[in-house]
Chains A and B, each alone.
Chain A
């Protein structure tokens, strides 16, 4: 792992809802180590509870 000073570092994302998920994926795709912390037993947040989303009525999961 490339590093300048000391051990490798990652990004910490607090919250595993749609925002946290998106931020985590973008950073991981850009080749960074990501730690995603969620207080619930599963990620998904509020959006996972929605059946469909406006205005396109797409499935939320």
Chain B
């Protein structure tokens, strides 16, 4: 968030609306209404004096009305911009009782009650709609008593209650007795998947959100029991299944299949009685609980329809914006130059939203090619940081995340007494925009030349604070963070005194190290502008197309003889019904041969080099000439997946002659109007889902595509007059229109039967499967379904061969599931730990076509952002070799994972040399060096030793 606030090329219009759009793509004229804030956005320092004197009290919207704000207020502590805002409706104004207290108290005269609304006209090349979501009002589902019963809350209210910076300081208390509930029950799908409520789709995020909250509650209150009433548990994303299984293993979290019909309140105790039918036991149950959380549906952002009229683009009847093609082109609207991303087109989780957002960015960029801003050298003030250490220690409260456990005053006094510390300050949120400015002021006023931030993790926040230092001219590497949140208050919440003691240790160590840090300068390097895309499936093709549109030269290589991968083999794509081949043909037509060089039957022989300067050697098996080496600035890995191959006799595979995989069925559907198999007509088809997914033998996770694919196939079969039965563990149709497909399948007569891993369906027959026997939970009896053809919906698995090949040249780590590991599962799903190397599509984990296309666009955007400049800055935290001490033994060369060290002759002696562009600063070489010739910048021996000494000797 803060990166947006201080980015030189982003102009932020908050409290604003788009009121008109005229013109055409590449040349829009847009009017933006900037509603008056009544507070000077630039001058306001968010000191809060105005709110302190404001007599008006109103519910705070950000905290869902669970706490109060003034008429002049900051929506939340980390708001960007941090400037306060005055609500004209709430304010008493200067009339009739002439309040005006805020104006009197503001020392900088920021408050202006006469500030007018402004309309600004902007010259716009392309538009991205990222309007997000709102939540369904559960009062409509009156059977659950939301707002009638105090102890029924919705999931976003729970989110605020669980937040340490929220209205209750992170304590979950019942509203009736202010005590922690002994039992909390979640009800899923409140509004979602319900035609009656006009929300026919799955809201996609609520299952995992409930699991997350359940785990958090269990961690905070070990005695509290949690129930989750659900219809299907949709844990379909990367890492979700394991997350769900973690909750399943907790004996105090109960997953109950079935949607409650009603809630009653015991007015005396405030307890709630949930009436439901447990689908697994077929029993009607009355469950007494102490608090109910409604997982309410996600609905389009308010005013979406109005905006669609301004933009002249289509929405569905609910108000989500309609993409051109939900499968093949999920980011384009029906109007040229306007793109859609994230929840604007339907509910999505953060990972999928971020991928689409980046994807929309590359599409919009293509309309702005002529308007690229020149690289302007930022003016950084001169700042003298030489001389004896003058250390400033800033201690963050992180709301009550840290301050709720640690004694901040004590830490402040403690830090003040440490050697060379000349300044200490505590901050409510060190990362808030206004606080950053105050840190900068403190640095200048106190002539600080070293900074310690005692706060959260450097993993996410070090870049922010380095930037804070850099902006005032202080070398950004003269900073050390002490992680007193993750390592103290979070893990030792039960022992505040000991946690505070540990925080003292960490601060003392950080001070010891920061004293010895040296200023470092990143090196600037020239970079190439060609891109290598490995893999010619839908992801690779899409990436190449989008990069070519931004004028990059792309080498697209494919192992097989043709482009298209798995998609070209599919007969029908959901939800559009188009054939896979047609989609691939459409995409191939968009390939500009001037900019995209395609090499089929080609693979990589070797990759050398580093970000911006990779040297790739290609090899071909078709005898055609390929360039020996290509120079590229970035590499995109898009080699896809393999399908799980069932084991011998796994669900009768290769034991019975009429058991096939869903891919084999796809081929059968290709050629036939009536289905026959081995010359016998087929009348009854059964599917078994999750073969090779969700544990045992195959992938530990959900393969994500198979429920939707099976339903798509079932609809086609049922329409051919066949009877279809789908044996499933949960139906995980998460795609925006897939719930409708699921409903259509049921209406057409497809039978859905649930099975569990403990009670698998039993196959009966001699040479062929003739019947499938299962236990029906309602009737409690065994039932048999006649079957002519059994289809196993097989999961995706990583393509070991191609991943092993890649790993020979690029050390991209592999996750527990065998797929390549992304940089961060939420915020860096397409980046890897190697700069300049990106992943997209199913090489990162199971995905369907629209997800893969979204990611492919996103990768193009990341490559564009990397290569848009002609140079890049290299991180200076690398190893350095003292040539006097090096004996040239080569141990470091052997242990370096990144191939960054080589032995070279110098003055008749062999010594090791580090290629700083390749070095990751991991430090392995330094620990192995027998002569102690290697040091890591920023982690030099004397710096680490000083920390150890501070810990062991000065405590």
Measured CB to CB, the residues of A under 8 A from B are 1-59, 61
Contact = CB atoms under 8 A, between A and B. Distances in A.
Contacts of A43: 1, 4-5, 12, 14, 80
**Residue among B5, B124, B128, B349 with the most chain A CB within 10 A?**
B128
Contact of A49 (B7, B15, B81, B159): B159
B124 A12 contact: yes
B80 A55 contact: no
A51 B371 CA distance: 39
A10 B125 contact: yes
A44 to B, nearest CB: 6
Contacts of B189: none
Contact of B240 (A11, A42, A54): A54
B132 A23 contact: no
10 closest A-B pairs by beta carbon, nearest first, are: A19-B342, A42-B79, A51-B163, A20-B130, A22-B357, A55-B243, A15-B130, A26-B361, A29-B865, A19-B130
A61 B78 CA distance: 8
11 contacts: A1-B374, A2-B372, A9-B27, A11-B361, A14-B129, A14-B307, A19-B344, A31-B375, A42-B76, A42-B81, A44-B80
B354 to A, nearest CB: 5
B216 interface: yes
B32 A37 contact: yes
A9 B861 CA distance: 19
A22 B827 CA distance: 9
Nearest to B63: A49
A42 B14 contact: yes
A36 B75 contact: no
A10 B341 contact: no
B843 to A, nearest CB: 20
B526 interface: no
B128 A41 contact: no
A58 B128 CA distance: 27
B368 A32 contact: yes
Contacts of A56: 239, 824-826
Contact of A39 (B17, B26, B349): B17
Which of under 10, 10 to 19, 20 to 34, or 35 or more describes the interface residues of B? 35 or more
B30 A12 contact: yes
B353 interface: yes
B130 A17 contact: yes
A41 B862 CA distance: 29
Contacts of A23: 128, 130, 341, 357-358, 360-361, 364
Given A19-B353, A38-B16, A39-B16, A12 B122 contact: yes
A60 to B, nearest CB: 8
Given A19-B353, A55-B240, 5 more contacts: A2-B374, A19-B130, A19-B344, A20-B130, A42-B75
Nearest to A13: B128
Contacts of B237: 55
B79 A41 contact: yes
Interface in B346-399: 349-350, 353-354, 356-358, 360-362, 364-365, 368, 370-375
Given A34-B11, A36-B12, A52 B128 contact: no
A60 B164 CA distance: 12
Contact of B354 (A19, A37, A42, A58): A19
B11 A11 contact: no
B9 A31 contact: yes
A3 B10 CA distance: 19
A31 B208 CA distance: 37
A11 B124 contact: yes
Contact of B4 (A21, A30, A32, A58): A21
B445 interface: no
B435 to A, nearest CB: 13
B928 interface: no
A59 to B, nearest CB: 7
B37 interface: yes
B1 A52 contact: no
Interface of B is mostly: mixed
B255 to A, nearest CB: 16
A28 B368 CA distance: 12
A39 B16 CA distance: 5
A33 B9 CA distance: 5
Nearest to B120: A35
B861 A26 contact: yes
A11 B1 contact: no
Nearest to A8: B371
A56 B725 CA distance: 36
A35 B307 contact: no
A48 B78 CA distance: 9
Interface of B: 1, 3-5, 7-18, 26-28, 30, 32, 37, 62, 74-76, 78-81, 85, 122-133, 156, 159-160, 162-166, 170, 208-209, 211-212, 216, 237, 239-240, 242-243, 301, 303, 307, 341-344, 349-350, 353-354, 356-358, 360-362, 364-365, 368, 370-375, 431, 456, 460, 824-827, 861-862, 864-865, 868-869
Contacts of B303: 39
A18 B75 contact: no
A51 to B, nearest CB: 4
B927 to A, nearest CB: 29
Contacts of B456: 59
B126 A51 contact: no
A14 B341 contact: no
B124 A4 contact: no
A51 B490 CA distance: 14
A29 B868 contact: yes
Contacts of B862: 26
Contact of B372 (A14, A31, A41): A31
Contact of B868 (A17, A31, A57): A31
Contacts of A34: 7, 9-11
B365 A32 contact: yes
A22 B373 contact: no
Given A3-B371, A19-B356, A30-B865, A44 B1 contact: yes
Contact of B3 (A4, A25, A33, A45): A25
A53 to B, nearest CB: 6
A4 B370 contact: yes
Contacts of B11: 10, 33-36
A30 to B, nearest CB: 4
Nearest to A61: B78
B162 A51 contact: yes
B371 A2 contact: yes
Given A38-B12, A51-B159, A17 B4 contact: no
A25 B216 CA distance: 31
B612 to A, nearest CB: 15
B164 A51 contact: yes
Nearest to B16: A37
Contacts of B164: 51
B31 to A, nearest CB: 11
B133 A31 contact: no
B766 to A, nearest CB: 45
Nearest to B375: A31
Contacts of B166: 51
Contacts of A25: 3-4, 7, 10
Contact of B126 (A11, A15, A22): A11
B239 A13 contact: no
Nearest to B62: A49
B73 to A, nearest CB: 9
B127 A26 contact: no
Which of B11, B216, B349, B362 has the most A CB atoms < 10 Å from its CB? B11
A26 B14 CA distance: 19
B365 A11 contact: yes
B132 A49 contact: no
Contacts of A26: 357-358, 361-362, 861-862, 864-865
A48 B164 CA distance: 13
Nearest to A51: B163
Residue of A12, A18, A39, A43 ringed by the most chain B CB atoms within 10 A: A12
Contacts of A13: 127-128, 130
A35 B559 CA distance: 42
